[in-house]
């Protein structure tokens, strides 16, 4: 009888953890959906709300950029018109919740523009702060 209770206790705990993980993954997905919506209306500062507003934010692409403001400035320089911004889509998302306040997201990005369709892969590290989930490290290719 004790073994049966132990098995049910372990299963209940596992289901609770899984449900919590699903809830956190959905919250992270919402951050990314909000980022894409902001981008697609030409709002780079709105897009940046998904990032940790800290000098410790790290963005890696063709170069390493450190800091929220520096990342914003880089985006504004690279995407200085709606034509360059195009329409952003995230796909193939794999959200792995590592703990109550840390997660990793692997995925693809694409831009639909008048003359081209650039895209690539990314790995994002998210941390959960009092204001919610935020990207603390972005490696995009």
Mean pLDDT over 75-82 rounds to: 96
Q: What is the pLDDT of residues 126-136, one digit of tens each?
A: 999 999 999 99
Average pLDDT of the chain to the nearest whole number: 90
Domains of the chain, first to last: 2-140 (3.10.450.50)
Question: Contact 50/32 with Cβ under 8 angstroms?
Answer: yes
Token pair belonging to 114: 């008048």
Q: How close are the terminal C-alpha atoms of the chain, in Å?
A: 55
Question: Contact 136/56 with Cβ under 8 angstroms?
Answer: yes
Bridge partner residues of 60 (DSSP): 64, 139
The pTM of this model reads 0.85
Q: What is the pLDDT of residues 17-47, one digit of tens each?
A: 456 789 999 999 999 999 999 999 999 999 9
Question: Contact 95/30 with Cβ under 8 angstroms?
Answer: no
Q: What is the pLDDT of residues 49-68, one digit of tens each?
A: 999 999 999 999 999 999 99
Per DSSP, helices labelled H in 41-113 are 44-47, 68-78, 82-85
Question: Contact 91/117 with Cβ under 8 angstroms?
Answer: no
Mean pLDDT over 92-98 rounds to: 97
Q: What is the pLDDT of residues 105-119, one digit of tens each?
A: 999 999 999 999 999
Residue with token string 């902001």? 38
């Amino acid at each position: 009888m004790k073994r049966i209770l132990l098995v049910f206790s372990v299963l209940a705990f596992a289901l609770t953890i899984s449900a919590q993980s699903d809830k956190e993954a959905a919250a992270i997905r919402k951050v990314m959906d909000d980022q894409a919506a902001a981008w697609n209306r030409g709002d780079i500062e709105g897009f940046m709300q998904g990032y940790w507003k800290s000098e410790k934010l790290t963005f890696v692409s063709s170069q390493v950029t450190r800091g929220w403001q520096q990342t914003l400035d880089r985006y504004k320089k690279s995407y200085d018109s709606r034509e360059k911004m195009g329409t952003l889509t995230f796909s193939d998302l794999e959200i792995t919740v590592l703990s109550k306040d840390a997660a990793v997201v692997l995925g693809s990005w694409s831009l639909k523009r008048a003359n081209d369709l650039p895209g690539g892969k990314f790995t994002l590290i998210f941390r959960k702060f009092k204001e919610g989930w935020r990207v603390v490290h972005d490696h995009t290719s």
